[in-house]
Amino acid sequence: MLVALFEVAYQFAIAGAGVAGAAALLYTAPVLVAVLGRLILGEALTPLRLALAVVVMVGVALTVHGGSNAGAEAARLGLTVGIVGGLLSALSYALTTLLARFAVPRYGLAKVLFLEVVGGVVALLIFLPLWGRTPVVPPSAAAWRGLLGLAAGSVLGANVLFFSAVQRIEAAPTAVAATVEPVVGALLALTLFGQRLTGLGWLGLLLVAGGVAAGYLNEAGQAEAQNANSTPNRTSRGGP
């Protein structure tokens, strides 16, 4: 259900606020994950984790608004619809992250991924026709190839990697690390399509990259400290 909500809400966000606005709203999710992770899962809400979430959120906003085509698309719906859609997509993304953090270590990656994908497809098949958006079968072999490629890479591949991460580290640093997505997208656009970044766009890239790197270093340092603290305890008990 959360997957279906995310997909629908994000399309409304793009239609109302444009691609840049939708992406900026979506990446308020790391802040939501940090706060809700404390309330729901009891994860640590340290000042550094919250600060890194805010830094990468600002970095994403600068990156998507600093591109050469940031304002090129024409929003088809009102800005209010776009903002509501963007915030709903961020909330569903955050809740998906927290659910994965709870479920994947307990039930396994494959089972959770299967239930997520099947549940999302069933929900879309039920609700889209009610909104007058009945799904259509791809009309050509090329369309099928494109659909299967997106399913394999953007859905299955991305979720396998994301769930593998959230199985090992807490939800807040996982959400911060995942903000490299718009950075990779911007760099690919620069390389493949000749698009440009303004000075603010490059500043945004640096903020995201720096925030993600700082998050990795912080989590690695905490893991080393925990290992160091647990080793003397095992030794004192006569363990290996």
Look at 74-78, 106-110, 154-158 and tell me which has the smallest mean pLDDT: 74-78
Q: What is the mean pLDDT of residues 51-74?
A: 73
Q: Phi and psi dihedrals of 197, rounded to 5?
A: -120, 140
Whether the full predicted model's pTM is greater than 0.95, yes or no, is: no
Q: Got the DSSP string for 96-142?
A: HHHHHHHHHHHH-HHHHHHHHHHHHHHHHHHHHHHTT-------SHH
pLDDT over threshold 60, residue 125: yes
- Is the alpha carbon torsion for 74, 75, 78, 80 positive or negative? negative
pLDDT over threshold 90, residue 101: yes
pLDDT confidence of residue 240: 43
Q: Where are the alpha helices (DSSP H) in 40-78?
A: 47-65
Quick one: DSSP state of residue 149? H
% of the chain exceeding 70 in pLDDT: 88
Q: What is the C-alpha separation between 144 and 121, in angstroms, rounded?
A: 17
Q: What is the C-alpha separation between 44 and 50, in angstroms, rounded?
A: 10
Per the model's pLDDT, the better-predicted residue between 22 and 32 turns out to be 32
Q: What is the mean pLDDT of residues 136-140?
A: 89
Q: What is the mean pLDDT of residues 145-161?
A: 89
pLDDT over threshold 50, residue 178: yes
At 67, is the secondary structure helix, strand, or coil? strand
